[in-house]
Amino acid sequence: MALLQISEPGQSPDPHQRRIAIGIDLGTTHSLVASVRNGVAECLPDEQGRVLLPSVVRYLENNGRQIGYDAVASQLQDPVNTIASAKRLMGRGLNDIHEKASLPYELIAQSDAEGAQQGMVAIQTAGGVKSPVEVSAEILATLRFRAEDSFDDDIYGAVITVPAYFNDAQRQATKDAARLAGLNLLRLINEPTAAAIAYGLDNSSEGVYAVYDLGGGTFDISILRLTHGVFEVISTGGDSALGGDDYDGALAEWVLAQHGLKATTPHEKTAVRIAARQCKEALTNSESAQFTATLGDQSLDFTVTRADFDAAAAALTQRTLAAVRRTLRDAQITKDEVQGVVMVGGSTRMPHVQAVVADFFGKAPLTNLNPDEVVAIGASIQANQLAGNNSAGDLLLLDVIPLSLGVETMGGLVERIVGRNETIPTAKAQDFTTYKDGQTAMAIHVVQGERDLVQDCRSLARFELRGIPPMAAGAARIRVTFTVDADGLLNVSAKEEGSGIEARVDVKPSYGLSDDQIAHMLQEGFATAQHDMRMRAVVEARVDADRLLMATESALKIDGDVLSADERTEIDALMQALRELHKTSDDAAALEAGTQALAKGTESFAAQRMNRGIREALAGKNIETL
């Protein structure tokens, strides 16, 4: 008798067959690929035994290109066509890139047919105009080839890490880069979460941890609770425009200021950046180091002490601590409750950063895993499970979204549907209704942020629900559902429950939301909470007044003849008084009082309308037969 081959969902049908899955840390400065081999997660080296791949691509004429170490060697020779730190440009528009003056290559704003700027910034190179997505795809493809060479086989899929504070546009750009690189993307996961996976499995420790992730171009801080294989992100924060590149820039500016110099040409900008990075790295193990660069015909050779560097970069480190404080506040815990601090990212090797973090938390941070490799290792563990190779299946990953999601309601108010730090994947729904009689369509405006007014939040998408059956205002029931997938990407649908008509949109927000804006959204959400509550109350009172005025006007047109002249004059006066309040008053109490006065003043009118309706319904009928 033939046997039916049965496998667990998601696992290989052949119990002896293993799907090859990889984890990729797509970094600002360096990128890595890792995989689980023989039950151990390890980073995969290239032919020279190097696990780090510099995230640098040089574009040549006739579609030629150099990637990684070859491109780094050409930075001084050809800075205009050698693209580094492309991750910092992912999903951002030209106006959002504050460091563009210090970049040696030419950035181009994408424009539509009318000439309006839109979309992600691009870079002019000898090989043509390239987007940050294309640059990142070159790096991802190189890592994919490295993995295929290591296993001498095709890759089933990959988990790619992103900064926790990457918004929807930046996450979507990363997914696009993976597709261009020919990778089957299993999932995007946050970098701090990947680090927690690696540390949690290696150390079998439980409790509350802070993951302090300072990479080449981004900073993340996440508070996680590790319990019985469950990795729950309680809160997350950070700044995706703050990293080791900024420390390099601060050191370079300080040294140039000491000599009254300024880097102006692409070659000079690249030279001082390279010199600053080499000096910074040397100061990790030495109390002093040389800053050596050539600016035009002038050679610059200057001794920098560790104290000099610490002072020049102190403001940057304090920016990271400000984000740490906000994230602890979001998690509703104190720094004393944090059991351990995990240091991730090559920039955490700086002694100044380690000392400041240790002083803040009152305990030495954990550094027993290589900070360059820990994210890729955690991603590979997650990839191994998603590929169905982990038969135990004892790893549960609970990530969160960084900012609240909602829709615009009448009066320009925000109705939040998915709250900030909500565990993903998630689906939330809320019912809404129509505002006017006979309304057959509804515009849905999706926004992101913590403020109560739409004008203070970020617009993500707009779509329309059409074909609503005409009915009285407030009778329709439209259910709006927000679905956030495991990658942190959003889908919104709207359905009229009575007729079943439905519309939906996969939210691909306009590129350009900077993380400074995200940080400001959160700060303003706290600092302006009282003001927002007052403004929300005013707007809601105006909406109520407007609805009552519309309903009263409609009723007067139909049944106004049942009123006496004095009654009509009294109602008209109440309506006029409410209209004036509606136009001029910012006092919610006054608006509510005017609305209540009109409602009370029309009670007799409502009763007369009801009596007329009853008389007309009973006209010509024998009361005894009813």
Q: Do the beta carbons of residue 490 and residue 471 sit within 8 Å?
A: no
Task: Give residues with Cβ within 8 angstroms of 621, minimum separation 6.
Answer: none
Which residue among the candidates 96, 134, 138, 213 is catalytic per the annotation?
213
User: CA 619, 622, 625, 626: dihedral to nearest 10 degrees?
Assistant: 20
Q: Do the beta carbons of residue 264 and residue 285 sit within 8 Å?
A: no
Q: Which residue, 277, 275, 280, is CA-closest to 295? A: 275
253 is catalytic: no
Name the range with the highest mean pLDDT among 263-272, 421-430, 535-544: 263-272
Residue 318: exposure state from Cβ atoms within 10 A (0-12, 13-18, ≥19): exposed
415 is catalytic: no
DSSP letter assigned to residue 162 = E
pLDDT at position 2 is 46
**Residue position matching structure tokens 């895993």:** 369
Question: Rounded mean pLDDT of the chain?
Answer: 81
Angstrom distance (rounded) from CA 626 to CA 224: 69
Angstrom distance (rounded) from CA 513 to CA 505: 19
**Reported pTM:** 0.63
Between 398 and 65, name the one with better pLDDT: 65
Backbone angles phi, psi at 348, to 5 degrees: -75, 0
H helix or E strand, kind and range, residue 41: strand 40-43
- Residue 33 confidence class, pLDDT cut points 50, 70, 90: very high
Angstrom distance (rounded) from CA 172 to CA 220: 19
Label each residue of 308-374 as H, E or C.
HHHHHHHHHHHHHHHHHHHHHHHHCCCHHHCCEEEEECHHHHCHHHHHHHHHHHCCCCECCCCCCCH
pLDDT at position 1 is 38
Strands, sheet with 82-84, edge to edge from the N-terminal-most edge strand? 65-67, 56-59, 82-84
**523: region left, alpha or beta (phi > 0 left; psi from -120 to 50 alpha):** alpha
Asked if pLDDT for residue 113 goes beyond 50, the answer is no
621 is catalytic: no
pLDDT at position 352 is 92
Angstrom distance (rounded) from CA 145 to CA 154: 9
**What whole-number percentage of the chain has pLDDT above 90?**
22
Q: Is the preceding omega at residue 425 within 30 degrees of 0, hence cis?
A: yes
Residue 471: exposure state from Cβ atoms within 10 A (0-12, 13-18, ≥19): middle
Handedness of CA 516, 517, 519, 523 (dihedral sign): positive
pLDDT tens column, 152-201: 888 999 999 998 777 777 888 898 889 888 899 999 988 888 888 887 64
pLDDT at position 196 is 81
**Residue position matching structure tokens 């815990």:** 333
SS3 call for 606: helix
Between 233 and 66, name the one with better pLDDT: 66
For the segment 584-593, the average pLDDT, to the nearest whole number, is 82
Asked if pLDDT for residue 66 goes beyond 50, the answer is yes
Angstrom distance (rounded) from CA 124 to CA 130: 6
**Residue position matching structure tokens 């050409």:** 74
Backbone angles phi, psi at 331, to 5 degrees: -80, -10
567 is catalytic: no
For the segment 117-135, the average pLDDT, to the nearest whole number, is 82
For the segment 434-439, the average pLDDT, to the nearest whole number, is 81
- Express the helix, strand and coil content of the chain in percent, nearest 5 each: 40, 25, 35
Which residue among the candidates 46, 78, 87, 373 is catalytic per the annotation?
87
Q: Do the beta carbons of residue 144 and residue 183 sit within 8 Å?
A: yes
pLDDT at position 312 is 93
For the segment 512-539, the average pLDDT, to the nearest whole number, is 57
Task: Give residues with Cβ within 8 angstroms of 359, minimum separation 6.
Answer: none
Angstrom distance (rounded) from CA 404 to CA 507: 14
| Rg of the chain, C-alpha, whole Å | 30
Which tokens sit at 437?
């009689």
Between 588 and 520, name the one with better pLDDT: 588
Which tokens sit at 537?
């109350």
For the segment 20-39, the average pLDDT, to the nearest whole number, is 91
Between 115 and 311, name the one with better pLDDT: 311
Q: Do the beta carbons of residue 28 and residue 54 sit within 8 Å?
A: no
pLDDT at position 518 is 45
Which residue among the candidates 46, 138, 191, 232 is catalytic per the annotation?
191
